[in-house]
Structure 1
C-alpha cells in the first residue's frame, strides 16, 4: 500500500492549498454577518481586546461558531469516509444510515426528561443514539447469509432513519419541546459556545487522530473481506472499532449543531478524487474539505438571513446523491 511517488508532490500541494483556503475562509467568516467588520477590527478583537460590542461579538459569537463549523465538517466528513470503507458502500453517510436520526432521538428523550441538560450530557446521549441507530441498520444489513449487502443496508438505513425521526418528533410534540428539537432537525452552528467547543473539540480531534493512525487497516478493509484477511487484518475487530469511532463522531456532531445530511456522503468522494483510495490520505483530506465546506455553507446561510444550515447543504447534497445513484453508486 505504498503511495505512488509521482503523486506525493501534487498531493502535498493540494493539502497546502486546502489548508490555506480553510484559513482564509475562517478569517472571512469572522468579518461577515448581520454587521460586517474589517480585518483590522477582527485583529483588534483577538489581540487588542476591549470590552466593546464588536469585540465581544467577534470573540464570543463568531469565532466559536466557525470553530464549531470546522469541527463538525471534519467529524461528519470523516465519519462518512469511514462508513464507506467499512461497508464498502459508496452511498454510506451518517445521516442515511440511522446514526444522526438515532442521536437526535436520544437527545430528544434527554431534553424531555431534563430540558436544561448540559452539553456533556447531550454528547453522551448523541453517542448512545448513534450506536442504537447504527447498530440496528448494521444488524439488518447482516441479517442474511453473505454478510453485508449494500442495497439492504441502504434500505434499512432509510427505514430506520424515518422511524427514529418520527419517534423524535413524537417525543417533541408530547413533551412540548418542539423548539429544541427543531434545532437538531434543521441543523446550525448559531449559538455555539466556548464551553461546547471545550467538550467537543478534544473528542473529535482524538478520534480523528486514532482513525488516521489506523487508516492502513481501513484501506485494507475497503478492498474487500478476502483481500483484507490476506493482508493479515482482523476484519471483525477493525470493522467494530471503526464503526464505534464513526458513532462517536456522528453523536458529538449532532449534539453540537444538530443533524446535517450529505456532508459525509459528498466529501469523501471529493477526497478520493484528489488522493486516490488510500485512507491514510482520505481521512486528513476529508477533514480539510469537510471543514471548508461547512464554513462556506454557514457563510451562505448567514448572508441569506440565517437560513437553516441543513437546507443550504441539501441544495448541493441532493443533486450529488442523485448523481451517485445514477452511476450505480460507483466510487469516484
Structure 2
C-alpha cells in the first residue's frame, strides 16, 4: 500500500519561519532585560521595587530619582542602537558589501564634519539644526564614497568601497580636528560628543530625533523585498521587475536618515552597523524581510547592554558607549576582513 508523504518543502518552509519567530521573541526578551538593567544599574544599583515605583510616577527617593533620570538615556540607547543596526544591514544590502557600515564607509564622519562646521562657521546652536545638518553631511559622504568606489574597472566592489570609505573617514576626521582645534569654546563639548555616548539624553532630545528615525525605518523596511532581489545582481533584479536605481536611492535614503539622526543625537558610534547584521545572518539567514527588523532589535539590545557595561565597569565614573562598542567591533571587523569570501555578500 502506498504511503502518502507530506510535501517535503511544506515542513521546511514552516520550520524556518517558526525558528525565526522564536529568535525574534528571544531578541525582544533580551532587549526588555537590557532596558530593565539600564534603568536599574549604574553608579547606584536600584531595586525592582524602586524601579516599578519610579516608572509609575514616583520620585521621592534618591533611587527613584536615579531611575527617572535613566529612562530617557535608555530610550535614546534603544533608538540609536536600532537605527545603527538597521542602517548597517541596509547599507550592506544596497552595496552587496559585507564590510559596509556607517562608520567604515565614512558616513558617520561626514555627519560629524557637517555638525562641527555648522557650529564653528555658522553659529549653529539649535538641536533640531544639528539633525538636519548631520543628515546632509551623512548623505554627502555616502554619495561621495559610493562615487569614488564605483570608479574604474568592476564598479563598486566591496574592497574598493571599504578603501574609499576608510580614506574618506580618515580625511574627514583630520578636517574635524583642524576645524575644532582653534576654537576652545566648542572643543570640549564636541570632543565628548565625538566619542559617542547617550549620557546627556533627555526626553526633548528623544522627541526631536524620533520623526527622522521613523521615516528612515519606514523607508528601510519598505525596501526589504527589493533588497532580496538586489542580492541576485543588478541584471537579475532588473529582470524581476525591480527599478535598481530607485531601490538603491530609497533604501540609501532610509539608511542615511537613520545614521545621520543617530549621529546627531549620540555622536559617531562605530561598528554597531557592522557587527549586528552579521550576527543576525547567522541566526535567521539572509532574507531582508526578517533581517532588517531583527537587526533593529539586536542593535538596540547591543547598544543598551554596551551602555550598561560602560556604567558598571568604571563606577562611579563611566566609559562612553562609543568606546565599548569599538572594543567589541574591532575584533569582529578583523575577523570579517580575514574571511575567504569577503569580496561578495
TM over 0.5: yes
Matches within 5 A, 1:42-57: 42-50=51-59, 52-57=61-66
Shift of 1:6: 2.1
Given that residues 216 and 253 in structure 2 are in contact (C-alpha distance below 8 angstroms), is that contact kept between their aligned partners in structure 1?
A: no
Given that residues 84 and 90 in structure 1 are in contact (C-alpha distance below 8 angstroms), is that contact kept between their aligned partners in structure 2?
A: yes
Q: Deviation string for 1:209-255 (max 9, x for gaps)?
A: 33212210111112211221121111111111111111111111111
Shift of 1:28: 1.4
Matches within 5 A, 1:244-259: 244-259=253-268
Selected match of 1:303 from 312, 331, 340: 312
Selected match of 2:108 from 86, 100, 105: 100
Gaps of 5+ in 1: none
Q: Report the count of equivalent residues.
A: 330
Shift of 1:26: 0.6
SS at match of 2:99: coil
Selected match of 1:38 from 23, 29, 47: 47
SS at match of 1:156: helix
Residue 314 of structure 1 corresponds to which residue in structure 2?
326
Shift of 1:32: 0.6
SS at match of 1:4: helix
Selected match of 1:154 from 154, 158, 162: 162
Q: Which has the larger radius of gyration?
A: 2
Q: Which moved more, 1:192-201 or 1:116-125?
A: 116-125
Once residues 187 and 315 of structure 1 are traced to their aligned partners in structure 2, the CA distance between those partners, rounded to angstroms, is 13
Selected match of 2:299 from 286, 290, 295: 290
Matches within 5 A, 1:153-192: 153-176=161-184, 177-192=186-201
Given that residues 45 and 55 in structure 1 are in contact (C-alpha distance below 8 angstroms), is that contact kept between their aligned partners in structure 2?
A: yes
Residue 83 of structure 1 corresponds to which residue in structure 2?
91
TM-score by length of 1: 0.94
Q: Which moved more, 1:322-331 or 1:239-248?
A: 322-331
SS at match of 2:151: coil
Selected match of 1:276 from 269, 274, 285: 285
Q: Which moved more, 1:8-17 or 1:105-114?
A: 105-114
Given that residues 169 and 181 in structure 1 are in contact (C-alpha distance below 8 angstroms), is that contact kept between their aligned partners in structure 2?
A: no
Selected match of 1:135 from 125, 143, 168: 143
In structure 2, do the counterparts of structure 1 residues 331 and 44 end up closer, same or farther at CA, with 3 Å as the change threshold?
farther
Gaps of 5+ in 2: 1-9
Once residues 231 and 286 of structure 1 are traced to their aligned partners in structure 2, the CA distance between those partners, rounded to angstroms, is 26
In structure 2, do the counterparts of structure 1 residues 43 and 115 end up closer, same or farther at CA, with 3 Å as the change threshold?
farther
Q: Which moved more, 1:202-211 or 1:31-40?
A: 202-211
Q: Deviation string for 1:233-281 (max 9, x for gaps)?
A: 1111111111111111111111111111111111001111111111110
In structure 2, do the counterparts of structure 1 residues 87 and 58 end up closer, same or farther at CA, with 3 Å as the change threshold?
same
Matches within 5 A, 1:228-247: 228-247=237-256
Once residues 199 and 82 of structure 1 are traced to their aligned partners in structure 2, the CA distance between those partners, rounded to angstroms, is 23
Once residues 73 and 186 of structure 1 are traced to their aligned partners in structure 2, the CA distance between those partners, rounded to angstroms, is 15
Once residues 263 and 129 of structure 1 are traced to their aligned partners in structure 2, the CA distance between those partners, rounded to angstroms, is 20
Residue 74 of structure 1 corresponds to which residue in structure 2?
82
Tell me whether 1:5 sits opposite 2:14 in the alignment.
yes
Once residues 16 and 197 of structure 1 are traced to their aligned partners in structure 2, the CA distance between those partners, rounded to angstroms, is 25
Shift of 1:143: 2.0
Once residues 298 and 76 of structure 2 are traced to their aligned partners in structure 1, the CA distance between those partners, rounded to angstroms, is 15
Once residues 246 and 316 of structure 1 are traced to their aligned partners in structure 2, the CA distance between those partners, rounded to angstroms, is 22
Once residues 180 and 236 of structure 1 are traced to their aligned partners in structure 2, the CA distance between those partners, rounded to angstroms, is 40
Residue 235 of structure 2 corresponds to which residue in structure 1?
226
